[in-house]
Amino acid sequence: MFLPQSPNDKDTFGEERRTFLINRINQAKESLVIKSLDGTIIGYGLSILGPINLIFGPIVAPDHHTASLLIDKLANNHQGKLRIDIPSGNEYFMSHIEKYGFVKVSQLL
């Protein structure tokens, strides 16, 4: 999931997901944090190695460029399939990552 918003999970998702995030971090193959020059966390991302895909998410970043950097670093040297779930309303980001080979395979209404 990509959300171009605050790195504060409660601000981004509207609820506290501490237990979910702790479990997701424990499952993660890799995790990354991006900080501003003053050391403030401005984004983060996780990759989970599933049986079929390397799954990205959550990816939380202040803009599409930062989200793309997180995905690029998390995918580095992975030889299999990649997956990311992108919430509706992020069509610009979807068109951006399609340039790098991602393909939209389904959409929930």
Instruction: Tally the residues of the chain.
Output: 109
Q: Which of 86, 73, 80, 76 is nearest to 4 (CA)?
A: 86
Q: pLDDT below 70 — which residues of the chain?
A: 1-16, 108-109
Crossing angle of helices 64-75 and 91-98, in 10° steps, is 40
Residue 7's pLDDT is what?
53
pLDDT given at position 6: 47
* Confidence (pLDDT) at 109: 60
Beta bridge partners of 56: 47, 84
Ranges of each domain in the chain: 2-98
Amino acid 40: pLDDT:
93
- pLDDT score, position 1: 45
Note the pLDDT of residue 15. 58
Architecture in CATH for domain 2-98: 3-Layer(aba) Sandwich (3.40)
